[in-house]
Amino acid sequence: MGPQKMENAGAFDDPAKAGVYRMPADVQLPRPTREAGTLALWRVDLDGVRDKVEFLATMAQVLDFPDWFGDNWDALKDCLTDLTWRRARGYIIVLERCDGFAQAAREDFETALELFRLVADDWRESHVPFWVLVGGAAAQEFSLPDLVQE
């Protein structure tokens, strides 16, 4: 599935609050739309992903990375801090069913979470919200803060 556009984003509009969070089961994501000036939303299903190579390939496919994506952590960070091919007011990546990846490749999962934190920090400097919401038990195990919606 390609990116979805979002409107009525509410708290997701605030770059100061953006970052990497544990996604509650009852999260209220904004309604998908394709209108300009909205937030981009990608749902990344990691069911069956068990290592870095599969994780990077899944991210590249779902986020429709450009051909220059280099299948490594640096290239992932470069793509996520660029996103010129998906201009939006902000970005939300939902990582679904990531427990298998987190268990099979704990170190790689931790690296991905840290990379997402760095990307959110980079976007925050430009006043653009960048969110990564992590679903499943892995978010609890890795002590991610809870997403609190107002």
pLDDT digits over 85-140, tens only? 888 889 999 999 999 999 999 999 999 999 999 999 999 999 999 999 998 887 77
Stated pTM of the model: 0.89
| Number of domains into which the chain is organized | 1
Question: Do the domain assignments include residue 147?
Answer: no
What is the percentage of the chain residues whose pLDDT exceeds 70?
Answer: 87
Give me the pLDDT at residue 137, please: 82
pLDDT digits over 9-21, tens only? 457 889 999 999 9
Question: Do the domain assignments include residue 83?
Answer: yes
Element at 99 (helix H, strand E):
helix 99-104
- Domain of 65? 4-8+20-141
Give me the pLDDT at residue 150, please: 61
Helices (H), 22-131: 52-62, 73-82, 99-104, 106-125
The domain that contains 105 carries what CATH number?
3.30.370.10
